[in-house]
Amino acid sequence: MKKLALHWKILIGMLLGVIAGLALSQFDSGKTFIIDWVKPVGTIFIKLLKLIAIPLIIASLIKGISDLKDIAKFSRMGLRTIIIYIMTTIIAITIGLTLVNIVQPGNSISEETVQQLNEAYNTSATKRFDSAQDQKAKGPLQFVVDMVPDNIFSASSNNRNMLQVIFFVILFGISLLLVEEKKSKPLKDFFDSLNDVIMKMIDLIMLMAPYAVFALLASLIAETTNPDVFAALAMYSLTVIAGLLCMIGVYLLIVTIYVGKSPSFFLKGISPAQLLAFSTSSSAATLPVTMERVEEHLGVDKEVTSFVCPVGATINMDGTSLYQAVAAVFICQAMNFELSLTAQLSIVLTATLASIGSAAVPGAGMVMLVAILEALNVPKEVLMVGLALIFAVDRPLDMLRTTINVSGDAAVSMVVGKSVGKLRDPKPKHWDDHYEG
């Protein structure tokens, strides 16, 4: 399997996990074997995802902010770029939350199946109910109060305090930009190096993903073989895909109305970058192609693309944010973990801020989903069952949401280029473009 791409390994692991779960669950000794010897592999993988969540936020977010270099230099387009990126992210999360609340894919799982999952993962129904009641008892602005930490070391020691960590990191990053460059450079270099190390850690953890998918699916099937689980999973996937298609529609609408270009012009210009994003699941790996297509084929000036596209690859994760919103609510629906309106509003805030610190590499979206669920005080048992449910389809959805991320970068580049007078008609090319992922 060494020569296979990671997504193929994950798909093979998924298929083998289903087969193994169905086969071994026919025997009592087979179920015991899966629970005692296979399931721990998936548990370890989820613990590793949780382990890396806060370091990823700290390293990626500080690097993303510090990469803005001198705020004054980009005052004309820097602020509007960030505002537009945040606005499109909020739109994406809102679309995701709207669709998942309308479709309610998690509610198609029967009470009997939920009970089986609860018993299999020792989930306490009382604990879930008490947690939901605690959320209801809080005031409407309590989540804003809660996001300001009084001790960053205490906040960093608990993944449930993710918003507090993000608040501190954003304040730290902005302050870093305002310090004299000679004095701030050593600290910037440190966080650049730290970010590279964290990215390598994610690469190493994701090498375990095919085996983790096998373990998670095999144990899920061994502990419950009800078909409504898979029906709900199909509805969840369709909900995410519908949301991503809506975001493409939003981009095309913006390009048509504000920029004055046709949808076909935009799609034709950015399609090679979209295909590369789909095949690699990495906005960062696609960045050189994205910049070339936006500059040469969509007519955005290099001064704009050299700033907007790299910043977008760091902080603009519309597809990932939409997926995280849908996945978080789906998991809570499936496990009967009630989310109040305040909790769902906190998803908008958490997912928006987390998208700024989400790494542009495969697997980072799953890490951030863990962070969002823990910020919602979702019990660890519910979290484990939920991740086991959605892991089966995560990789193909990851490919699709990365395509949306790249499309968003291109659309915002055109908007910023138009707003600062740096948009022109692209020069015709007399050669074909061929990119391999």
* C-alpha closest to that of 108 among 254, 242, 23, 233: 233
Query: Is pLDDT above 90 for 251?
Result: yes
pLDDT tens, residue by residue, 373-392: 777 777 776 777 777 777 76
Nearest to 1 by CA among 204, 213, 210, 212: 210
Residue 49: phi and psi, rounded to 5, are -60, -40
Domain ranges, ordered by start, for the chain: 6-419
The CATH number of 6-419, from 1.10.3470, 1.10.10, 1.10.3860, 3.30.1490, is 1.10.3860
Sorting pLDDT into bands at 50, 70 and 90, what band is 255?
very high
- Give, to the nearest 10 degrees, the angle between helix 318-334 and helix 78-103: 30
Q: Going by C-beta distance under 8 Å and a sequence separation of 6 or more, which residues neighbour residue 83?
A: none
Write the single-letter amino acid at 148: V
For the ranges 11-15, 47-51, 352-356, 406-410, the one whose mean pLDDT is highest:
406-410
At 58 the pLDDT is 81
Q: What is the pLDDT of residues 126-137, one digit of tens each?
A: 444 344 444 445
pLDDT tens by residue, 416-433? 989 888 888 776 544 344
Q: What angle do CA 201, 287, 416 make, to 5 degrees?
A: 125
Residue 240 structure tokens:
């995410």
Distances (CA, A) of 225 to 59, 144, 231, 258, 355: 41, 42, 12, 51, 35
Query: Which of 61-75, 103-117, 302-316, 394-408: highest mean pLDDT?
Result: 394-408
Of 13, 43, 36, the closest CA to residue 381 belongs to 43
Could you give the CA distance from residue 92 to residue 194 in angstroms, rounded to a whole number? 30
Q: pLDDT digits over 6-42, tens only? A: 667 877 887 898 899 888 888 888 888 988 899 888 8
**Alpha-carbon distance 336 to 325, whole Å?**
17
